[in-house]
Amino acid sequence: MLQLTNVRLFNRALPTFEHSFAPGRIHVVLGTNQAGKTNLCRLIAGLPCSASGDITFDGTPLPAPRARRGTAAMVYQAFVNYPNLTVAQNIASPLRAQKLSTAQAEARVANLAATLHIDDLLDRLPHELSGGQQQRVAIARALAKRARVLLLDEPLVNLDFKLREALQRELRALLEDQATTVIYTSTDTRDAFSLADELLLLQDGTKLQSGALEDVYAKPQSSAAMALLSDAPLNVLERDGSKHFIRPEHVYLRPPTAPQISFDMFVRNYVTNGNTTYIQGEVENHTWVMRHPGVWSGSDNSNVKVSVDTQDLRRF
């Protein structure tokens, strides 16, 4: 168990927080830019940064930053590889410290390269590779280290959509069976749903909420936490002098059923990506977005009847 206490992610007057990362789980740290995600990674990795805090691993304090390198391995947003080393040499570079025989090292490199589908590129130099291939090399190198903590700081952000989708799935399959504590930072809600066992939500250097993905989704503790786990803005409904929040996927065009509230929405515009239609409009002087499955054949500047289930309303 990786335990952080007295954490301050920026060098300014912020409340400190604590957090535990369980081993063998994939932790997605979700937050907008400047939330402190990179500082959190650098703090754990022992790299220079403006964050501070106490870190223990299984109860033992981590050594001073300089000696921490063996505990944590980090993959950055930009593809960082040794430019003058081949792919094989790059992956093997952390193995030198592990005193493996040449045969053992070669076997480890071959195995990792095969898993990440870069086994036909072992003799190439980084500049001869595409961005996606370079990032696979960086990930393979981090895995070769067999560190107890693997830090992935927005590792897929610069990649093509389809490649990102494939790597996400591969990463999950690869990391699932390991005892490694995986910490993956992102600004993208989709990463939380496709990768996370556990979530840590950050905002402006503070911890908003943490827990299992399903729990954080079902029981948000603040509107900020609820909004961070939504790909479209939250909807606001004012009733009895208080604000209720509702997710875009919990607004329905269907006729009323169980305990529900229905009202008119004035449609301003809508966009579809084929499998989902985002319908934007006005409800009682608030801008609303509804996430409707499939294609919607309505029109702009028209009124539609929408409904919400009372169980989906959240008040903070």
Partner 1 sequence: MASIELKDISFCYPGSATPVIEALDLEVERGEAHALLGASGSGKTTLLSLLSGLLRPTGGAIVFDGNEVTDLSPRERHVAQVFQFPVLYERMSVIENITFAIREQSAQIDARVQHIVEALGLGKISALRPGQLSLYQKQICAVAKALANPEVSLILLDEPLTSVEPAAKARLREVLTAAQNEFATTMIYVTHDQTEALTFAQRVSVITEQGILQTAPPDEIYNQPAHEYVGYFVGSPGMNFVTREGERVGFRPEWCHLHATSGIAVEVTTCRFEGTRAGRAHGLVELSSASGPLFYRGPIDAVKTGTQTRLGIDRGLRYRDARMVGVL
Residue 1 per-residue DSSP state: -
256 binds partner 1 (CB under 8 A): no
Distances in whole angstroms, Cα of residue 274 to Cα of each of 16, 166, 278, 293: 44, 21, 10, 9
Site for partner 1 in 186-225 (CB under 8 A): 187-189, 193-194, 213-214, 217-218
Q: Is 133 helix (H, G, I), strand (E, B) or coil?
A: helix
Contact region for partner 1 (CB under 8 A) — 8-16, 68-76, 107-115, 246-254?
246-254
DSSP state of 62: P
C-beta of 61 vs 233, nearer to partner 1? 233
**231 lines the binding site for partner 1 (CB under 8 A):** yes
DSSP secondary structure of 89-122: HHHHGGGGGGT--HHHHHHHHHHHHHHTT-TT-T
Q: Point out which span in 82-90, 91-99, 177-185, 275-283 binds partner 1 (CB under 8 A).
A: 275-283
Is residue 76 within the footprint of partner 1 (CB under 8 A)?
A: no
Nearest to 75 by CA among 22, 152, 17: 152
Q: Which is nearer to partner 1, 78 or 107 (CB)?
A: 78
Site for partner 1 in 3-32 (CB under 8 A): 32
249 binds partner 1 (CB under 8 A): yes
Measured CA to CA, the distance from residue 93 to residue 179 in angstroms comes to: 22
Q: Which is nearer to partner 1, 22 or 173 (CB)?
A: 173
Classify residue 112 as left (phi > 0), alpha (psi -120 to 50) or beta: alpha
Per-residue burial over 107-132, b = 16 or more CB atoms within 10 Å of its CB, e = otherwise: ebbeebbebbebeebbeebbeebeeb
Q: How far is CA 150 from CA 75, 99, 178, 226, in A?
A: 8, 21, 11, 27
Of 149, 252, 288, 314, the one binding partner 1 (CB under 8 A) is 252
Is 269 among the residues that bind partner 1 (CB under 8 A)?
yes
Q: Is 273 in the site for partner 1 (CB under 8 A)?
A: yes
Looking at beta carbons only, is 18 or 160 nearer to partner 1?
Answer: 160
Contact residues: partner 1, CB under 8 A: 32-33, 130-131, 160-163, 165, 169, 172-173, 187-189, 193-194, 213-214, 217-218, 231-233, 247, 249-250, 252, 254, 257, 269, 271-275, 278, 280, 293, 295, 309, 311-312
